[in-house]
Every structure is written in C-alpha cells, then in structure tokens.
C-alpha cells in the first residue's frame, strides 16, 4: 500500500498524536484529562509506567502502558504477569487504537428513528439511565424480572451480571459458550469433572507431541499459548496438524492431515483403535484413574484406519503411523481440545469426548507436557445482600440440551420470539455484537423487533448498537477499573485492571454505570461502596492482598503449589465416580451415546463449497476491525479457494467474487486467494469483517462477513451448541 493512501495517513496521524483531526463529526472528542492514579516512573519517557490487564481478547494478558501526561504512548507486555512474560500478541500491542478510535461513543444515546436506522439523540446519563429504569420497572410489573436477558462477553460484564441478579433474572447468555467453547467444556466436564479452562491449562512448551485438530495457533493468537507453541516448535517437538487448510500451524508440522471437513471424530476413533488395539495406552494410569475402559476397548474394534480413511479422505497408513507417534510420547502428549468447538452441531460433544478420552488413555491429564492443574487463588467477595431467587433461565424448554453449562444465547433469542417457557421482553447487551456473533441473523432481527427494550453498552457504534433504544458509551479497558481478576496458570495469582488514561467525552466505566442504574432501580444496597477504589481496597483487605502493591505491580503471585504429578500434584476428579469417566453413565442415563460415535456430515451439493472461517493474527472478530492500528493489518483478508478448483471455475488469484449460500443469501465482494493450501471441497475466510454500521467509519464496507451466510446451524443435542460449518456457498465472479 502506498504511503499516500487515506488509511496510511490516518495511521500516521494517530501515531503523531493529531487525533482530533481524524475525529468523526458525529461524536466529537472532548479533550482528555490525565487519569493515571498509580504507576511508577517510566525511565524511558520520564512519564509513568502503569500495569494493567489487556481486553482486546479474553486471554487477559498483563500489560504495561507508557503514559505521558494525558497520552498513552505504547503498550508492552508486563514482565511480571505469567500470561505475558513481557510479550504481547499484535492485538494487545495495538490496543490503544481502540481507545483512540475517532468513532468512539462519547455520549449516552436515545433512539429517535426506527430500530436499525442508527438515528439517535445525545442525552445526559441521568436521562438515559432514568429511561432504562422506568422501562425495567414496567417490565418487572407486567412480566416479572426474569423477562430481562443479558448477552455479554468480557470481564467488564461482571457489574451488569451483579446488577441483573439483584434485579431478579438468571437469563445470562454469551455467544462465547453455545457458539464457541460449549461442546469442549461439556465433554471435558463429563469426562474429567473439569474443563480445560480459559486460559487453557495446556503444558505445550514441555510436550513431546502436540496434535492440533483445527486449532490454528499462530492465527489464533492467544499470547501465552503461542509463546509456548513457539518453544515447542524450537525444541522440534512432534507436531501433527489436522486441518482441511494448510494453516500457519500446519506449516510447522511434521505431518499435516488435510481432513475432509467434519470427519474428525472418525479419525479420533481410528487413533483409539490403533492405540488401544495394539496395547499402546498407559495401562497403569487407565487402571488407577479411569472407569469404562473395557467398554471403549470393545467399541473401538470396529474403527479401523481403513474405515476412517474412507470417511476422512486421509491415508490409512498415515493414521496408523501418527497413532503410534502420539502413543509413543505419553504422558507428555497433548491432543489439543481447541477452543472454538461448535463446528457441525450433531457431532461436536462426541468429537470433544473422543479428544478427552484419547488424552485420558495416554495419561496426559495431570502430567508434565500434558494438562496441568492450576491451584488458582481464592478471592473474598465484597459483602452484599443475597440475590432474590430467580426463575431458571428461559433458554431451554423441558428436556432440551440437558448438559449445557451456561444459558444458550440463541435459546434466549428463541424465548424472545415464542415466549416459551416464558417471555423475554428486554435485552441488555454488553460487549457482544450479536448481529455478527449469533448465527441465523434473520431470527436475531425478528427477536429485536419484538423487544420492549434493547440496551447496548459498547465502545463504538457497532451493528447491534444501531438497533438499540438506549446506547451506553463505556470507558475502554485502558480507561477504567474492573473487578479483581484471578489468574489460574502454572503461577496463579491476582491481577488488576486500572486506568491509564481518561475516557473520551462522557464515556463511563461499567462499574459506575451499573451502580448508578442500581440506585435508580432501588437496588443501591447491592452497591454499598462509594467508589471503585474503596470497593477494590476492601476486597483486597478481605483477601489478604496488599492493594498498593497490586496497583504498582499489576499482578501478585499466589503461593506456589504443584500443578503436575511430577511435582507432587495428587490427581483427583470431580466426577460422580471420582474417576475419569471414559464410558459415561451420565450420558447413557440421559439417552445419549455413552461413548463417542461418528456422525457423518452432509457434504456440499454440486457447485457449492463448505464455508469455513477462522481467525487472523492481528484481529479479534469485530472487536478490532475499526481499530485503525490493527484494522490496517488485516482488512484485506481474502477468500481461500483451492487453486485447481479456481482454475476449473475460470477464476484467477485476486479476482473479485461474492458468495451466495444455499438459501440464496449473498455476501459483500471479497478478493479471491487461489491456493494449494486448502482442500477443494471448502473455502475459508476470516470472521469479523463486512461491517455495515454507518458509525464505523473505518471498518464499514471493508471485506465480507461470514456470519450473514450462516443461515443454517447444526444443533448439538447434548449441550445445545450451534455448529455453523453446515453452510455451503457458490462463488460468483464480479467485474473487476
């Protein structure tokens, strides 16, 4: 890109500190005042060095900001926080682009046009919160407090969860469960009585063999995990990558297995067939810690590598050979459970159970180079009155998805539409752009139309804000305190998010918004502290933590405890049998298959490709697309299509195309990447572009949006996850 392009100029203007010049006419930026309360002298700038916690994604790395007066000059990784080790991923390092976004919301807004018109008038906080409180009082009278749902993502939501629990509802749904980690967390919970957690407790750097099933580390940029992965690669660990696409991770692998999409469970069962059939499992571990191995032994007899080869399109000998290598590394072996596990629906919990069982028979759970067990840190609560008893969430009707660990976001949407088991009349949306993150957009829009109240708390006027009755502008993670953050890792401890700079205009921190709204709702007793510092100091005092030291260091360690058996960890399992449940009585009792079974997905019809999507290193979905520093690095993401298939279709690399899905829904134009690095039956794109919100002046109109094409889902009957990789697209060439 030439230096004279508008975006390049914008980048330079931000870097040079002439922010006001780039400001949008819509929301004028007020000058900021210096904010930093804590911190030490920064010898490199003679300004201040302030430690805090990143929120550009949900890994929560420790950061340190170099602040001079009212300006945040740069962000680096905190050297004392175990999740950053002094380093950040590109998104964390570009986080100030979020704070200095000229499109920031700086005033509370009340809707004046029809929903979705993005027409608002700016009002005072008193008016905005008064409006919400009056509506909520009314809804409570007519329908009960449970008619309010919270959709959320991110640490800052804790204040609103507290407020709405005090109000009397349990309807809290996050797309980061049913559209993301759900099947994995449920499968591991059923098997080990514990989840892989966030951050995932994977001892990758010490592993001898790492199997990545889809997990595209390096594009998926979770900082510590990528650092550990780099160490693993540098040690020449045996890396096996299963992915229809030659991902960045695949480029580091000894073996890349370009699997037919949706057939991973067949591969996992064949690996179990070889490992168990050849007696290569960890006998002592299986004996001591598991139940139901004999039933597994019997069940996997049928799943030969030849059978799996036909299902997966992989070579039977490669399946055998990789199984032996995986077994040979035990117990320092990791079959990575992934994070985004809602893929195809029907099969997802089974696939994750097969992963859990494979790790179990190799004895990797609890061992160095496998899954470690952090002790965490107990933090005392600030005493507040007990919550009123709330009705069970409305996301599921009797008997539906019995193993869900959290309310299903799409279930709350359904209840909004059909009123079953009871009606939802108001949505409070915090830090989630439901228009892009929930599948089946038409349903989301219909549900929004049916609401009495939609409140959106965000930093920028994303698509969801355009439909709100009230928009609440929040201070960004660099401009606010949040609640204490527990850190569960090899070294556990506590971390503090604290402001480095002041928020723009009238933007306010979540804790302040929730407390003020509580007062208006007559729930002030639940926020019995004068300001956030007194709250944090009291919580620290009750937890035996020195607040001043925490504010200075940003992270304080908990006492050391062993996290692997080699260091003295005693293995215990919080399942009913107190053992690792290979065969699940619990699943059997609920009418599900007690051992994983493979369900073959329906393939693409002629002329169509399966739509796959994923992450890009410098981007977090729609969280970073309008961030000028980061958007610059990823806005030209392309549609990956197999080069031979492209040639057959008469398409060349760089062609402008659009996608049309099986239901006739069209995408925005996107540039084609014709490449050998993907199978011929699928295409791949990055999630998070293709914005249409007028207020996102940088991101809108750039790239194409995968989520608009997700008009169908496959639903996981065990836990209600919505698999989105069941959509097919045809490719139409556009004139250049």
Ligand X SMILES: Nc1nc2c(c(=O)[nH]1)N[C@H]1C(S)=C(S)[C@@H](COP(=O)(O)OP(=O)(O)OC[C@H]3O[C@@H](n4cnc5c(=O)[nH]c(N)nc54)[C@H](O)[C@@H]3O)O[C@H]1N2
What does the DSSP 8-state code read for residue 371?
Answer: B
Residue 170 to residue 531: CA distance in whole angstroms: 26
CB of 480 to ligand SF4, least distance (A): 16
Q: From CA 573, how far away is CA 192, in angstroms rounded?
A: 6
DSSP designation for 667: P
Rule CB under 6 A: is residue 214 a binding residue for ligand X?
Answer: yes
Minimum CB distance to ligand SF4, residue 110 (Å): 33
Alpha carbons 74 and 668: distance in angstroms, whole number: 35
Q: Does 178 bind ligand X (CB under 6 A)?
A: no
What CA–CA distance (Å, rounded) separates 397 from 401? 9
Contact between 63 and 57 (Cβ < 8 Å) = no
Q: Residues 664-703: x/- map of binding to ligand X (CB under 6 A)?
A: --------------------x--x----------------
Write the interaction track for ligand SF4 spanning residues 494-533; mark x where CB under 6 A is met and - where it is not: ----------------------------------------
Of residues 14, 29, 61, 341, which one binds ligand SF4 by CB under 6 A?
61
Which of Mo ion, ligand X, ligand SF4, none does 92 bind, CB closer than 5 to 8 A by kind? ligand SF4
**What percentage of the chain's residues is helix, strand, coil (to nearest 5)?**
35, 20, 50
- Crossing angle of helices 316-328 and 305-312, in 10° steps, is 120
Of 29, 57, 259, 335, the one binding ligand SF4 (CB under 6 A) is 57
* Nearest residue to 337 (alpha-carbon basis) of 368, 300, 364: 364
Question: Collapsing DSSP states into helix, strand and coil, what is residue 195?
Answer: coil
Task: Candidates 81, 273, 320, 339: give the one binding ligand X (CB under 6 A).
Answer: 339
**For strand 656-661 and strand 670-675, is the pairing parallel, antiparallel, or unpaired?**
antiparallel
Residues 221-280 that bind ligand SF4 (CB under 6 A): 221-223
Binding string, 182-201, against ligand SF4, x = CB under 6 A?
--------------------
Most distant CA atoms of the chain, gap in Å = 71
Strand 172-173 versus strand 453-458 pairing type: unpaired
CB neighbours (10 Å) of residue 418? 11
| Nearest residue (CB) to Mo ion, 336 versus 515 | 336
| Least Cβ distance, residue 622 to ligand X (angstroms) | 5
Residue 295: CB minimum distance to ligand X, A: 26
Q: Which structure tokens are listed for 117? A: 């018109």
Q: From CA 600, how far away is CA 269, in angstroms rounded?
A: 13
**Does 430 engage in binding with ligand X (CB under 6 A)?**
yes
Smallest gap, in angstroms, from Cβ of residue 619 to ligand SF4? 10
Q: What is the rounded CA–CA span in Å between residue 454 and residue 434?
A: 12
180: left (phi over 0), alpha (psi -120 to 50) or beta: alpha
Q: Indicate the residue among 102 and 262 with the shorter CB distance to ligand X.
A: 262
Stretch near ligand SF4 under the rule CB under 6 A, chosen from 57-65, 446-454, 600-608, 728-736:
57-65
Binding mask 62-91 vs ligand SF4 (x if CB under 6 A, - otherwise)? Answer: --------------------------xx-x
Instruction: Look up residue 190 and give its two tokens.
Output: 């059923």
Does 416 participate in binding ligand X (rule CB under 6 A)? no
Pick from 64, 191, 476, 627: which binds ligand X (CB under 6 A)? 476
Interface region with Mo ion, contact rule CB under 5 A, candidates 338-346, 582-590, 642-650, 725-733: 338-346
b/e map 572-581, b = 16+ CB within 10 Å: ebebeeebbb
Q: How far apart are CA 151 and CA 180, in angstroms?
A: 14
Give min distance, CB of 54 to ligand SF4, in A: 3
Site of interaction with ligand X (CB under 6 A) = 55, 57, 153-154, 156, 175-176, 179-180, 213-216, 220-222, 242-245, 247, 259, 261-262, 264, 338-340, 343, 430-433, 437, 457-460, 462, 474, 476-477, 612-617, 619-623, 684, 687, 706-707, 710, 724-725
Binding stretches for ligand SF4 (CB under 6 A): 54, 56-57, 59-61, 88-89, 91-92, 221-223
């Amino acid at each position: 890109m030439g230096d004279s392009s508008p975006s390049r100029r914008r980048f330079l203007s931000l870097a040079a500190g002439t922010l006001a010049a780039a400001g949008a006419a819509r929301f004028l930026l007020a000058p900021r005042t210096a904010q930093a309360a804590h911190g030490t002298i920064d010898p490199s700038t003679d300004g201040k060095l302030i430690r805090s916690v990143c929120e550009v994604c949900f890994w929560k790395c420790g950061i340190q900001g170099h602040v001079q007066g009212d300006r945040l000059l740069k962000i680096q990784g905190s050297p004392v926080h175990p999740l950053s080790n002094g380093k950040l991923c590109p998104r964390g390092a570009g986080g100030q682009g979020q704070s200095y976004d000229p499109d920031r919301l700086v005033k509370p807004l009340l809707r004046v046009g029809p929903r979705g018109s993005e027409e608002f008038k700016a009002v005072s906080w008193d008016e905005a919160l008064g409006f919400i409180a009056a509506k909520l009082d009314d809804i409570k009278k007519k329908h009960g407090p449970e008619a309010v749902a919270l959709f959320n993502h991110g640490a800052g939501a804790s204040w609103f969860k507290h407020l709405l629990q005090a109000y009397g509802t349990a309807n809290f749904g996050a797309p980061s469960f049913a559209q993301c980690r759900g099947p994995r967390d449920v499968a591991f919970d059923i098997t080990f009585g514990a989840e892989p957690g966030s951050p995932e407790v994977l001892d990758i750097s010490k592993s001898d063999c790492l199997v990545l099933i889809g997990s595209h580390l390096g594009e998926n940029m979770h900082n510590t995990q990528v650092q550990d992965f780099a160490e693993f690669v540098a040690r020449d660990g045996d890396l096996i990558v299963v992915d229809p696409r030659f991902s960045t991770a695949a480029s580091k692998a000894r073996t890349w297995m370009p699997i037919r999409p949706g057939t991973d469970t067949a591969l996992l069962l064949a690996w179990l067939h070889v490992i168990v059939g050849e007696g290569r499992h960890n006998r002592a571990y299986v004996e001591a810690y598991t139940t139901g191995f004999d039933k597994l032994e019997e069940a996997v007899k049928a799943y030969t590598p030849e059978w799996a080869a036909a299902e997966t399109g992989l070579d039977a000998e490669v399946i055998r050979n990789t199984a032996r290598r995986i077994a040979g590394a035990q117990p320092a072996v990791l079959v990575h459970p992934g994070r985004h596990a809602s893929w195809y629906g029907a099969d997802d919990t089974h696939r994750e159970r097969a992963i859990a069982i494979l790790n179990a028979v190799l004895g990797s759970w609890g061992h160095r180079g496998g899954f470690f067990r952090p002790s965490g840190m107990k933090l005392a609560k600030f005493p507040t009155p007990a919550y009123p008893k709330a009705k069970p969430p409305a996301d599921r009707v009797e008997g539906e998805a019995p193993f869900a660990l959290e309310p299903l976001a799409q279930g709350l949407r359904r209840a909004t539409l059909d009123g079953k088991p009871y009606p939802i009349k108001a949505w409070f949306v915090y830090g989630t752009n439901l228009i892009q993150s929930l599948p089946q957009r038409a349903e989301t829009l219909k549900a929004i139309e049916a609401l009495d109240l939609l409140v959106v708390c965000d930093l920028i006027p994303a698509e969801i804000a355009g439909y709100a009755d009230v928009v609440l502008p929040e201070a960004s993670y660099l401009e606010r305190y949040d609640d204490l953050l527990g850190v569960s890792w090899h070294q556990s401890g506590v971390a503090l998010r604290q402001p480095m700079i002041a928020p723009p205009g009238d933007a306010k921190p979540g804790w302040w918004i929730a407390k003020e709204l509580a007062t208006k709702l007559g729930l002030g007793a639940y926020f019995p502290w004068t300001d956030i510092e007194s709250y944090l100091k009291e919580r620290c005092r009750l937890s035996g933590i020195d607040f001043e030291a925490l504010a200075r260091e940003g992270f304080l360690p908990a006492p050391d405890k062993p996290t692997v058996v080699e260091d003295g960890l005693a293995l215990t399992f919080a399942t009913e049998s107190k053992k690792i449940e290979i065969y699940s009585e619990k699943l059997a009792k609920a009418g599900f298959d007690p051992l994983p079974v493979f369900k073959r997905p329906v393939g693409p019809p002629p002329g169509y490709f399966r739509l796959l999507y994923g992450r890009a290193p410098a981007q977090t979905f729609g969280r970073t697309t309008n961030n000028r520093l980061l958007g610059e690095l990823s806005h030209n993401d392309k549609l990956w299509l197999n080069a031979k298939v492209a040639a057959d279709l008469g398409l060349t690399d760089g062609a402008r195309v659009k996608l049309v899905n099986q239901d006739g829904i069209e995408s925005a134009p996107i540039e084609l990447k014709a490449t050998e690095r993907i199978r011929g039956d699928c295409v791949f794109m990055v999630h998070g572009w293709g914005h249409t919100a007028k207020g996102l002046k940088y991101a809108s109109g750039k790239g194409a949006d995968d989520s608009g094409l997700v008009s169908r889902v496959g639903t996981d009957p065990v836990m209600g996850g919505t698999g989105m990789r069941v959509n097919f697209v045809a490719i139409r060439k556009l004139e250049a």
